[in-house]
Structure 1
Amino acid sequence: MQGLFVSKMAASLLKNAPQVAAKPLAVIPFTIKQLALTQLTQTLLKEALEQRCLDFMQGKWVAIEITDVQLKFELSYQNGRLIVRPPQCPDVTFSARSDELLLIAAGKEDPDSLFFRRQLWIEGDTELGLQVKNLLSSLDPEKLSPIIRFGLGYSAQLLLWLQQQAATTPSLSTP
């Protein structure tokens, strides 16, 4: 019976957490989100920025849509730095749920496998989309700062555990 309770709680948390997160995100002005997203993307892509691996994005706009929390923004690389803006007219759009993006960032999930399972959608300039996807695949979470690596790793492990608990519903039937 305890297993059923844990399973139902995990399923409920996985279902409701994005909806809960979406509410405050909806009222936060984009300028505040822009500051946070700029810092987050610069942190996650620090190595790529240092190695100038983002030149292919010069003058191009990549939209990131986190579907379950209704967050969408565009990202570009200009003059050696990342620029974040509200959605306008991207060259390519990546769409996924927050849990899938977390697993990609933590190095626990491969963008290719999510794409082929139709959990990561890529629309628009296919060449640019492929370059961005390859960049995501090449990210090494071990090169992140220890505190970011810990936060991502812990969050990803918790998410994977919740998904496992939600998927293992004990049978209620008795012989």
Structure 2
Amino acid sequence: MTKATTKAFSLPKIPLPVRENIISLIPKVLKPTFKLVPFTVQKKVLIPALHSVFKEAMEDGDFEFLQDKWLRIHITDLDINWWLSFADDSLVMASPAQMVKEDVCFSASGDDLVLIAGRKQDPDTLFFQRRLKIEGDTELGLEVKNLIDAIDIEQLPSSVHSAVEQVANWLELTQTELSAQQTQLA
């Protein structure tokens, strides 16, 4: 991270051990919380958010490859699974009770997904580091990955864009400092 990026980051400077503890605590708090959120509520939040992010791509027909196919997104540290497909020019979501068979599955931690969304990590890099797993139909997985790569984070509503960017910056800064600290101790 450059000094300019660090300077632009507006959250207060929190000591590294505290940030490390917060990062490890978040999944422990969110995991049981998400278990209490009914599927209908998850769907009512996720589908409009995805439509907002991918509006232009859907209008351009970029999601037709997902027609009659299912993508599972698995957030590993939260044990959340979402099954998504494309039908009638719209993204659709299956409930866990429907037990659809996914054609491809993307698995990663919440931190890594935030870093991807905030453009702090490249999906290819995470894939080769085995932090992003793509299982199932390889061709379909590559099409999904290319679509993710093409997302313009600027298309998000400004408040969402700002929040994603700040959290991604915070995670990146913390991971960089932890890595440097481990290197010094070695």
User: What TM-score results when the alignment is normalised by the length of structure 2?
Assistant: 0.83
1:62 corresponding residue in structure 2: 71
Contact kept, 8 Å, 1:7 with 1:167, in 2: the verdict is no
2:56 corresponding residue in structure 1: 47
Please tell me the residue identity of whatever aligns with 2:153: P
Give, in whole Å, the separation in 2 of the partners of 1:58 and 1:79: 9
2:42 corresponding residue in structure 1: 33
How many residue pairs get aligned? The number is 168
1:98 corresponding residue in structure 2: 110
Q: Which digits, 9 at most, give the CA deviation of each residue in 1:87-109, with x for residues without a partner?
A: 42111000000011111112222
1:121 corresponding residue in structure 2: 133
Give, in whole Å, the separation in 2 of the partners of 1:153 and 1:46: 20
Shift of 1:168: 4.5
Give, in whole Å, the separation in 1 of the partners of 2:143 and 2:156: 21
2:152 corresponding residue in structure 1: 140
1:6 corresponding residue in structure 2: 15
Q: Which digits, 9 at most, give the CA deviation of each residue in 1:101-130, with x for residues without a partner?
A: 111112222111110110000111111111
Please tell me the residue identity of whatever aligns with 2:136: G
Superposition map of 1:72-111 within 5 A: 72-87=81-96, 88=99, 89-111=101-123
In percent, how many aligned pairs have the same letter?
36
Contact kept, 8 Å, 1:73 with 1:85, in 2: the verdict is yes
Please tell me the residue identity of whatever aligns with 2:114: L
Please tell me the residue identity of whatever aligns with 1:100: D
Of structures 1 and 2, the one with the larger relative CO (CA 8 A, separation 6+) is: 1
Which sits farther off after the overlay, 99-108 or 65-74? 99-108
State which of 121, 129, 142 in structure 2 corresponds to 1:130: 142
Specify every segment of 5 or more residues in structure 2 that has no aligned partner in the other structure, as ranges. 1-13
